[in-house]
Chain A
């Protein structure tokens, strides 16, 4: 269990603006930060060698596309989640794959399914869909292929 607002205070002390914070029932702090601060915040967390990036998840919200980064400390179990929202017109986020190797494929998946553009990623290509796929399937405005293999279903 994280002590309340440990990471919120930690990031604020490092000069990073925390827009909103909450604590989940499991004790995980959820902090919303600006996209431009993400790389700095991850760098500060990385200073602790026991900090691991468990997963990245991405979704579409009203104000844009949101990416959530779940970090946890493998020695004491502390966990913090950073949320970053970017506008739909320019969904660009700095890549964390230089800091955390586990970010590499996770960011490729977020790029493949939602279309987040991770700046500085060494190999930002599709990972789940075929290479010649058109569009990003988890976007709300996505329309799947209509051809001899898939046809629209009316129920």
Chain B
């Protein structure tokens, strides 16, 4: 069958379904995973695919295939930084414990240093005194890096938004990928934020990585110029 040599194929039922079918129903299912990353079910008329195989066969490009596998692996091992500045951190700890158990989704490895982490969950109020430290931590994260703004304080300043010392939203100093509202959000809310981030990761392309990294650097640089946060 010559089309096997021309196109990359995945027998997806065997390869992927074990993970998503059991763990959670409303997470990205297998069709969503592939529709997000340029992988399409076989529709080409010139390919002579037997009917009984069509349900188990996906047709993609080499780039799309690599993106899919790479993002699938990456999105299931998002390691967060141990970073909690107030009460949201209690919910973040709860998410790490056995009742909610973020390790079911590959994010249980809370790292003590930003150089080994992929994600900052900004759990708690960010003050003006803490802001330079947070920017420093963000800069020390290796690319690809992500930020979940957890709770009202990191989204808008929350109930402290008219305080002289509180930054009115963490997105004023670092780029944010996912917002999780709540005061504090329930652990399920943070898990949903993580799923949202995983979906976002699965939609990324390897070819865009350089542009995304440059955008992150530029955003932080602009903030430092504008606000005079002390950095070196």
Contacts and interface: CB of A to CB of B under 8 A. Distances in A.
Contacts of A148: 172, 223, 226-227
Given A129-B129, A130-B129, A147 B227 contact: yes
Nearest to B167: A149
Contacts of B172: 148-149
B131 interface: yes
A129 B165 CA distance: 8
Contacts of A152: 162
Interface string B48-79: 00000000000000000000000000000000
Main secondary structure of the interface of A (DSSP, over half): loop
B133 to A, nearest CB: 11
A130 to B, nearest CB: 5
B128 interface: yes
Interface string A22-58: 0000000000000000000000000000000000000
A63 interface: no
Q: Which 4 A-B pairs have the closest CB atoms?
A: A144-B164, A153-B162, A149-B167, A148-B226
Interface of B: 128-129, 131, 161-168, 172-173, 223, 226-227
Given A130-B129, A151-B168, 18 more contacts: A129-B129, A137-B165, A142-B164, A144-B164, A144-B165, A145-B128, A147-B226, A147-B227, A148-B226, A148-B227, A149-B128, A149-B167, A149-B172, A149-B227, A150-B128, A150-B167, A150-B168, A152-B162
Interface of A: 129-130, 137, 142, 144-145, 147-153
